Amino acid sequence: MEAIVQVMESTMGARDPYTVGHQQRVTQIACAIGVEMGLSAEQLRELRVAGCLHDLGKVALPLDILAKPGKLTDLEFAMLKTHPQLGYDILRPLKFPRPIGQIILQHHERWDGSGYPLGLKGKDILLEARILGVADVVEAMCSHRPYRPALGLEQALAELRRHRGKLYDPEVVDVCLKLYDEALAAEERTVPELPRQKQPAPNHISANILARSQEAKWNREKAGDLLGWLRKFPLRSRFFLHSVTASLVGCMLMLGIRGF
């Protein structure tokens, strides 16, 4: 499964590097929330894989839509909203644990039922998808996009507070806010202010702050095998294959991929 994830990340990265970086940072945030909420090792593994591939369906969308500098038309936005279903459909033939596809399918569902593509509500949405949805919002708002500059972490957290219990699971939001409050407090205590030109790019800030805080916390508490397992999988692209298509086909043949 890990090999398939890596090949898919490389395939996506060759076409749309932003989406791959976004997925990796979302995964980092989501896994930090998941650990804090006490998810099992299996749930965290599934969350990590789903996070790394949650925007997979965008490979089927025109780059003109993904990179459009202006506002999307109603038709373009309707096309964009198909990406969770497209990602689920791409993964359907692969031998992945069943929840992974469902997490990807549900990551744009919202607590009040206003999300897509299924209009699920409350706890009908998988917990892992609710976590991924919150992490996705935080990272996206902290990132530069073709149609707007980065809005920043403060605005992202304000969005969570404003729509807690409406769009987003209140328990997930509370855990996310707690993690960032702790991380920001630790930053103020331990990290000297950097010269402006050396500060991290805005689209890395949200994940980097949590990563530094979580790493320090885990090191202090010596969290054991579970967190040791998580640290084995760095959330950045580890390689680019010389022939993406040939490698993907070869990997599928080697692993004997069937249905869920």
pTM of the model: 0.76
Q: Are 10 and 241 in contact (CB under 8 A)?
A: yes
Distance of alpha carbon 202 from alpha carbon 228, whole angstroms: 28
Cα–Cα distance measured from residue 137 to residue 132, given in angstroms and rounded to the nearest whole number: 9
Assigned domain for 98 exists: yes
Asked whether residue 145 is assigned to any structural domain, the reply reads: yes
**Chain centroid to CA 170: how far?**
19
The sign of the torsion formed by the CA atoms of 30, 35, 38, 39 equals positive
**Which uninterrupted H or E stretch holds 166?**
none
CATH of residue 138's domain is: 1.10.3210.10
3-state class of 120 per DSSP?
A: coil
Which secondary structure element, helix H or strand E, spans residue 234, and what is its range? none
The answer to the question of residue 260 being in a domain is no
Three-state SS at 138: helix
Q: Is 204 exposed, middle or buried (0-12, 13-18, 19+ CB in 10 A)?
A: middle
Determine, yes or no, domain membership for 38: yes
Residue 197 CA to residue 200 CA, distance in Å, equals: 8
192, part of any domain: yes
- Count of the separate structural domains present in the chain: 1
Question: Is 44 among the domain residues?
Answer: yes
Per-residue pLDDT of the chain (260 residues; tens, 9 = 90+): 778 888 888 888 888 888 899 999 999 999 999 999 999 999 999 999 999 999 999 999 999 999 899 899 999 999 999 999 999 999 998 878 779 999 999 999 999 999 999 999 999 999 999 999 999 999 999 988 888 889 999 999 999 999 999 999 999 999 999 999 998 888 766 544 444 434 444 555 566 666 665 555 554 454 444 444 444 544 443 333 333 333 443 444 344 433 33
Domain carrying residue 52: 2-255
Q: Is residue 147 part of a domain?
A: yes
Is 110 a domain residue?
A: yes
